[in-house]
Structure 1
Amino acid sequence: METPGRPTAEEIELTLVGTPARYTRAEVSAKAGVTGELAERIWRALGFATLADDAVAFSDADVAALSRVGTMLGSGLLDEQTVLRMARALGQTTARLAQWQAEIMIGAMLPADTEPTDADLARVLETSQALLPDFEHVLVHVWRAQLAAAGTRLLALADVTDELVPTRVHVAVGFADLVSFTRRSRDLDEQELAMLVEGFEARSADAVAEHGGRLVKTLGDEVLFTASSPAVAAAIALDLVERDDLRIGLAYGPVLPMMGDVFGTTVNLAARLTAIARPGTIVVDGEIAGGLEGNPSVEVHRMRRRPARGLGTVQPFVLRRSSR
C-alpha cells in the first residue's frame, strides 16, 4: 500500500475550497461583473494579499462570491463603504476562526513528542475533508443564531434609547485579569502555557455565556466582557473569581460599540478598577454598587477613594457574595 505523501498547498486549497484556481485578478473581476478596483478592495478587506497580475489564483467559487457582492451593490440595499466594512468584519473574524480551528485539529491529531510524518499530515487533511460539511453546517447555524442574538440586544437597547443603532449604549463592562500570569508563565513550557491560557479563556467564556453576557475579547491573561445590567455583571464576576485566581473590575455606563469591541470612559474605568483590585477580589464603580443595592445575594463595601490614571479620583467598592 502506497504511503500518502506530504500534502501540497494546492492540494490543501482544493480540498478545503472545493474548486481549483483558474483565473487571474482581471479575469475573476470580469467574470463576476465588478471593476478590478472594487474587486481588489474587497480582497484586501477580506484579508487576502495582493497578487501579481498574471498569478492564476482565483476559482469559480471566488467568481460566485464576488458576483454576489456585485448583486448586493446593484440592488441598492447596501452602499460600497458598508459592503467593505462587512467584508473586513468577515475577513478578520474568519481568519482568527480558521487559524484557531486548524491549530485545534493539528494539536489533536499530530504526535506531540515526535516530528510528524508525511502520512500524519495527509491524515489531518483527509479528516478535515470528511468533517468539512458538518463544520460548515454548524458554522452557518451558529452565525445565524449569533446574528439573531445581536439583533435582540439591539432591539432591547432601542427600547431604552429610542435608537435602533445607538452611537452609545449603557452596559456593564468587566475586565478579568489572571493573577501573576507573567511569573507563572516563566515556569511553563509552551504546551503548558497554551493549556493555561486556553483553560482560562474557556472557563471565562462559559461563565459569561451562562449568565447571558457577551465575551468581547480575550487577551491571553485577560478577558473583557459586557452585561446588560449590574446584576448580570456581578453574577458573572462572582462565578469567574471562584473559578480562577483573578482580579476583576466592573463599571457601568455609556460605551461606544465598534467593530465588535467597546470603547469609552466606562471601559477605561473598568480597566483601572482591575488594577486597583487585589488578587481574588472584585472592585466595582459607584454605578454598579448603586445598581446592586438591595440585592440579597451580594455585599458591596466602600473602599477609600483612589486616583485612577486619566480619570482623576474614583470611589471604588468591593463586591462579594453575600455571607447571609
Structure 2
Amino acid sequence: MTEPRPGRPSAEEIERLLVGQAPRFTRSEVAAEAGVPQELAERIWRALGFAQRADDAVAFTEADVSALRRVRGMIEGGLLDEPTVIRMARALGQTTARLAQWQAEIMMGTMLPDEPAEADVDAVLETAQILMPDFEHVLVHVWRHQLAAAGTRLLAIADVSDEPVPTRVPMAVGFADLVSFTRRARELDEKALARLVEGFEARASDVVATHGARLVKTLGDEVLFTAPTPAQAAAIALDLVETDELRVGLAYGPVVPMMGDVFGTTVNFAARLTAIAKAGTILVDPELAAGLDGHDGYVLHKIRRRPARGLGVVQPYVLRRSTS
C-alpha cells in the first residue's frame, strides 16, 4: 500500500471518518458474530467489491455485522436464496462504487485548488462528514423513486408479454455519439475535455429523462438509452441533435435486459446506424420507421442501403423534424 504524503490522512483514517465506526472484527469474527458461514460472507464481500482482508486484519465494524445479519434473515425467511443474494450484492457494489467515485471526484474537483495544502484536504473531509446524513437520506429517496420507475416499466412490459418476467422485450434503443471526439480530445486540455464529456452526458441525461425514457449507460463520447415506444425515442434523438454536434442511431425490436444493461441484435443495429450516420443526422431502422407511421412531427427519408458489420446490408432511414 502506498504511504500517504506527510500530513495527509491515511486510508484507514478516511475510512473511519466516513464509515463512522471503528473496526472491531476480523473476517472470521464478523461472520461468526452475524451467524453467517464464513464462505458466504466472503462471497458477499467480493460481490460488493470489497478488498480481500488478511485473516488477522481487524477490518470489520458493527455495521458489517448488522448487514450480514439482515442477509441471513432474508435467506432464512425464504425471501431470497444465496445465488440471488450474491447477484443483488454485485449489482449494489458495482453501482455504488461508480456513484461514490463520481461524487468524490466532484467534491475534490470543486473544493481543492490545483496545489492543495493539508488544510484543504482536511476541509474536504470535514465537509463530507457534515454532508453524509443528507447524502444518505437523498440516496435512499432517489433509489426508491428509481425502483418504482423500474417496476412500472417491467409491469408495462409484462402486460404485453406471455411471460411474467420476459427475457426478450420490444423497445426502442438509441445511441448518441459525439462527432470527431478523438480529434477534439487531442486538442483540449484535461479540464476542457472533462467539461465537454460531462456537459454531453448531462444534456443527454436531461433529455432522456424529460421524455420518460431510460439512460442505460454513458461511454464518454457516447450514450445508450432505451424508450418504450418509437415516438419517444425519435423525440429524444431530435432534441439531442438540435443542441450538440451529435449523430444518433435508433432501432426498434426485441432486446435482452440483463444486469441493468441491454443486449441483442436491436442494440447492435442501433450502434451500427450511429457509426454510419453523419454529424447532425439521425438514422433509424425500418422497424422504428414503421413505428412512426401516422405520428405527426416526423419526416422519414429512405436512403441507399448500406453494409453494417455483423448485420449484412441494412436499409436506413433519415429522421427529421417535420416543419409543417
Normalised by the shorter chain, which TM-score bucket?
Answer: over 0.9
Question: Could you tell me which amino acid in structure 1 is paired with residue 52 of structure 2?
Answer: T
Runs ≥4 residues deviating over 4 A: none
Q: Are 1:305 and 2:312 an aligned pair?
A: no
Question: Does structure 2 conserve the Cα–Cα contact (< 8 Å) formed by 1:176 and 1:224?
Answer: yes
Give the equivalent residue in structure 1 for 2:3. none
Counterpart-to-counterpart distance in 2, 1:8 and 1:32: 29
Shift of 1:269: 0.3
Counterpart-to-counterpart distance in 2, 1:199 and 1:247: 16
Q: Are 1:316 and 2:316 an aligned pair?
A: yes
Give the equivalent residue in structure 2 for 1:162. 162
Question: Could you tell me which amino acid in structure 2 is paired with residue 312 of structure 1?
Answer: G
Match of 2:13 among 3, 6, 11: 11
Match of 2:62 among 54, 60, 63: 60
- Three-state SS of the structure 2 residue aligned to 1:55 is coil
What do the CA deviations read for 1:44-63 (whole angstroms, capped 9, x no partner)? 00001111100111011111
TM-score, normalisation: structure 1: 0.97
Give the equivalent residue in structure 1 for 2:4. none
Unaligned runs of 5+ in 2: 1-6
Shift of 1:163: 2.5
Give the equivalent residue in structure 2 for 1:188. 188
Shift of 1:8: 2.7
Give the equivalent residue in structure 1 for 2:26. 24
- Three-state SS of the structure 2 residue aligned to 1:21 is coil
Shift of 1:307: 1.2
Match of 1:88 among 90, 94, 102: 90
- Three-state SS of the structure 2 residue aligned to 1:262 is strand
Counterpart-to-counterpart distance in 2, 1:243 and 1:29: 54
Shift of 1:312: 1.2
Unaligned runs of 5+ in 1: none
What do the CA deviations read for 1:94-123 (whole angstroms, capped 9, x no partner)? 000000000000011001x3x111100000
Question: Could you tell me which amino acid in structure 2 is paired with residue 120 of structure 1?
Answer: D
Question: Could you tell me which amino acid in structure 1 is paired with residue 313 of structure 2?
Answer: T
Question: Does structure 2 conserve the Cα–Cα contact (< 8 Å) formed by 1:157 and 1:164?
Answer: no
Give the equivalent residue in structure 1 for 2:44. 42
Q: Are 1:110 and 2:127 an aligned pair?
A: no
Question: Does structure 2 conserve the Cα–Cα contact (< 8 Å) formed by 1:230 and 1:252?
Answer: yes
Counterpart-to-counterpart distance in 2, 1:45 and 1:209: 30
Shift of 1:286: 0.5
Counterpart-to-counterpart distance in 1, 2:147 and 2:296: 35
Q: Are 1:177 and 2:177 an aligned pair?
A: yes
Question: Could you tell me which amino acid in structure 1 is paired with residue 272 of structure 2?
Answer: R
Question: What percentage of residue pairs aligned between the two structures are identical?
Answer: 75
Counterpart-to-counterpart distance in 2, 1:154 and 1:295: 25
Question: Does structure 2 conserve the Cα–Cα contact (< 8 Å) formed by 1:154 and 1:164?
Answer: no
Give the equivalent residue in structure 2 for 1:141. 141
Counterpart-to-counterpart distance in 1, 2:41 and 2:193: 41
Shift of 1:164: 2.9
Question: Does structure 2 conserve the Cα–Cα contact (< 8 Å) formed by 1:250 and 1:284?
Answer: yes
Shift of 1:24: 0.4
Shift of 1:162: 3.2
What do the CA deviations read for 1:64-118 (whole angstroms, capped 9, x no partner)? 111111111111111100000000000000000000000000011001x3x1111
- Three-state SS of the structure 1 residue aligned to 2:120 is helix
Counterpart-to-counterpart distance in 2, 1:205 and 1:106: 23
Question: Does structure 2 conserve the Cα–Cα contact (< 8 Å) formed by 1:157 and 1:163?
Answer: no
Counterpart-to-counterpart distance in 2, 1:278 and 1:164: 41
Shift of 1:10: 2.5
Counterpart-to-counterpart distance in 2, 1:48 and 1:217: 23
Counterpart-to-counterpart distance in 1, 2:11 and 2:285: 53
Structure 1 residues 228-267: aligned runs within 5 Å: 228-267=228-267
Question: Could you tell me which amino acid in structure 2 is paired with residue 68 of structure 1?
Answer: R
Shift of 1:11: 2.4
TM-score, normalisation: structure 2: 0.97
